[in-house]
Amino acid sequence: MRTLPFLVIAALILVGGLFLPQFVGNPYYFFAGYVVLQYVVIATGWNILGGYAGYINFGTSAFFGAGVYVAAFLIKAFGAPLPVQILAAGVVGMLLGVATGYLTLRIQGVYFSIATVALVVVLETLIHNIDYLGGASGMQTIAPPAPAWFGGQTQYVFCAMLVLAVVAVVAARFIERSWIGRSLRAIKASEPAAEACGVPTLSMKLVACAISGAIIAIAGAPYAYYASHVDPLSAFSLTIGLNALAMPLIGGTRSWIGPVIGALLLASVQQIATVTISSEFNILAVGIVLIAFVVLAPEGILGLIADLKEKLRRRGARP
Amino acid sequence: MNGLVLENVCAGYGAVTVLHDVSLTVREGELVALLGMNGNGKSTLLNAILGFVRPSAGSIRLDWEGESTELSGREPHRVVDLGIGYVPEGRRLVPNLTVEENLRLAAAGRSRPDLKDNLAFCFETFPILAERRRQLASTMSGGQQQQLAIARALMTSPRIMVIDEPSVGLAPIVVDQMIQAIKTLQSEKNMTILMAEQSFFQAVEVASRAYVLAHGRVVHAIEHGLDADAIETIRKAMMGVD
């Protein structure tokens, strides 16, 4: 997709979404839409490190949880408004990304992934021991009321998440097409060769970690507002880490649109399954779909589409 | 004198020492062949120059225009920035990027105003790359990929090119073309080149000088010109028959 149509579509989605509360009454749609959009942000953030650079992060929920608790802290301490919570979560996520990256990116491949699992445990344990943030049992987060224009709390956080999703996707697309994206793809292909091209691999990986961490953390920030209650179990939930890598893999990790497709599909299916079957069914569904894609379409939906195009082209070329 | 000077370099992996007291010189404008059979330390030597392997002793110096820079102990991308272009063994292209993207990548993250000039220079040197600039690197033949790998190193504005076994995995006729292309880079474009090779005859035919590595030591160094006698001696040295 060319840049101008892309930006026009992004702007239309943004404006359309922001006016949605004026036309749709039932708050449940915003409730469900929030979760779907939240996963668009998470999957997009994850893909910058996991898809472009090939560093699989199992610790997504650490970054998400950090965002949740930064927001919770700001609500409790200062009654800070949502935009401030989001910005602060982004900064903390970025710092956390750089710190994690600095400690772990010297180890390559699967060892990096293992190290990110530890990060979740470390942060969750940390929160368990901070009484001010409610410890293991969590705490209420009574946020300041939403601006009246949005018509309610749920509509307000939905719109906030929509803005975040559009910003995250635009950023991911920009990164993908810039020299940063090219450097990351070179790192994924071969780190020594990237170095030989003069790509400072460690710095580039740190940049990817910082951006990825920031995006995932801002996805967590509105949660405190949305749920009015935070606890370590849901903030550092396994489901988030699992979805974060399942969605880009299902959609396709090579391009910005892959995680978007994966997140829209999988998160919608999960929302429908929660209402119609049971909420416990979610994880099972993710597992089954993930295995199916790994076996049948390792390049995700984008790969399937590319194969299909190739087949059609060949058929067309044949007399 | 402009050139790359290695003095008494020792290097290896963990407890294993691969290179023992290696000294060699590459002067501006030369095409120096580094010969040796597999497992004698050619790649380790090039990796040490680039900074992938840290020498345990000795010095690797780039002398250029009156400035002398120690390369050992620096990260590879710094070494590349200082003017060593590197063509790795097995090409190591980015398969899912196009030819042009692979080339632009090599100028990534640097404020090089000469990106355009370099790109034009690459396309002029290897016209097939200009023709296929929008094609994915993975869909090209071995010889074309090798050309791309060399062009990618040219994109970093190198003072000295270090090329690791350009003939690996290529058909014999393509090996000849490749070695000739490297010779042309030196003779017509005035590039300074250090090339590790085991295709002995092709390499000595084009090289200004040669070093033979055996068991991690320089067992033979041809300091001036390669005549028939010199070629016979290094052949024996390389095969270990003398």
Q: Where are the domains of chain B?
A: 3-83+159-239, 96-157
For the domain bounded by A3-317, which CATH number is listed? Answer: 1.10.3470
Nearest by CB to A198, from B94, B95, B110: name it.
Answer: B110
Tokens of A246: 């399942």
User: Residue A307: which residues within 8 A CB-CB, separation 6 or more?
Assistant: none
Are the beta carbons of B80 and A193 separated by less than 8 Å? no
- CB spacing of B105 vs A196 below 8 angstroms: no
The class level of CATH for B3-83+159-239 reads alpha beta
How far apart CA A46 and CA A49 sit, in angstroms, is 6
What is the value of pTM for the model shown?
A: 0.82
Q: What is the residue whose two structure tokens read 């992060």?
A: A57
Report strand pairing: B209-214 vs B31-35. Answer: parallel
What residue ranges of chain B have pLDDT lower than 70?
108-113, 224-225, 241-242
For residue B50, the distance in angstroms to the closest alpha carbon of chain A comes to 8
Task: Report the pLDDT value the prediction gives residue A112, as an integer from 0 to 100.
Answer: 83
Helices (H), chain B: 42-50, 76-82, 99-105, 115-125, 127-131, 142-154, 172-189, 200-206, 228-239
Q: Cα separation of B11 and A299, whole Å?
A: 41
**What distance separates the 2 farthest-apart alpha carbons in chain B?**
52
Cα B62 vs. chain centroid, distance in angstroms? 15
With an 8 Å Cβ cutoff, is A185 touching chain B? yes
β pairing state of B57-64 and B31-35? unpaired
Q: Quick one: what percent of chain A has pLDDT higher than 70?
A: 98
Instruction: At B210, give phi and psi (nearest 5°).
Output: -150, 150
What residue ranges do the domains of chain A occupy? 3-317
Amino acid identity, residue A220?
A: G
Mean pLDDT of A146-170: 90
pLDDT digits (tens, 9 = 90+) for B101-110: 888 888 765 5
> What is the ipTM score, two decimals?
0.70
Q: C-alpha distances in angstroms, A77 versus A136, A227, A230? A: 19, 18, 15
Cross-chain CB nearest to A196 (options B86, B101, B108): B86
Alpha carbon distance B212, B126 (integer Å): 30
Q: What are phi and psi of B18, to 5 degrees?
A: -100, -45
A166 closest CA partner among A264, A59, A65, A37? A37
Q: What is the pLDDT of residues A253-289, one digit of tens each?
A: 889 999 999 999 999 988 888 888 877 777 787 888 8
